[in-house]
Amino acid sequence: MRLLAIDKRLKDFEIAIEHLHTELSSVRTGRANPALVEGVVVESYGTRQPLKNLSTISVSDARTLIIQPWDKSILSDVEKGIQASNVGIQPVNDGVKLRLVLPPLNEERRVELVKLIKQMAESARIRMRNIREEIWKEIGKQQKDKQITEDQKYQAEKDLKELLEGYNEKIKVIIEKKEREILTV
């Protein structure tokens, strides 16, 4: 039986994993993926909005994204937003939609991307350790306040260690999958 202090914070571990997935989806792997540009901020109608709120983003082939704004009058705004972002791909404007053709990745860029995703993984592990420390402080406080026994404290420490190992294994699997995706030519 796990302590309530651990159960309350399980969602925080899941949020950290979800954040890692979101970060990884923005890493270009040589294949077209709408997540590469969904978060691009576009200045239109007097406000700044994410591209996904203004247009349809689709994949036409393995290396081409098609962006079709719902309102054709903002096509140039969308084009400017993509050019100003750090996507690193120049859109081709045909007057109705934008076409983004992803260039193939060279070996040097693949190695850089692998380093980047490993940094993202380490950030996720740090988030996990911070959550663990917060839980551990809460458990220590509960024991000090005599809400739990010393045996329960040590059982909670064991449970927390196993939980963290499980989440670290999830991170490892996620990163290995993304690394294979990047290194596949």
Mean pLDDT, rounded, for 151-163? 89
Give yes or no for residue 2 having a pLDDT over 60: no
Mean pLDDT, rounded, for 57-83? 87
Q: Residue 3: pLDDT band by 50, 70, 90 thresholds?
A: low
Give yes or no for residue 32 having a pLDDT over 80: no
Number of compact structural domains in the chain: 2
Model pTM score:
0.68
User: Which pLDDT does position 52 carry in this prediction?
Assistant: 86
User: Which pLDDT does position 45 carry in this prediction?
Assistant: 82
Same domain for 121 and 82, yes or no, is no
Condensed to tens digits (0 to 9), the pLDDT of residues 100-155 reads 888 777 888 888 888 989 999 999 999 999 999 999 998 888 889 888 888 888 88
Same domain for 69 and 86, yes or no, is yes
Same domain for 14 and 56, yes or no, is no
User: Which pLDDT does position 5 carry in this prediction?
Assistant: 66
CATH code of the domain containing 65: 3.30.1360.40
Distances (CA, A) of 150 to 6, 7, 131: 16, 19, 21
149-172: b (≥16 Cβ within 10 Å) or e: eeeebeebeebbeebbeebeebbe
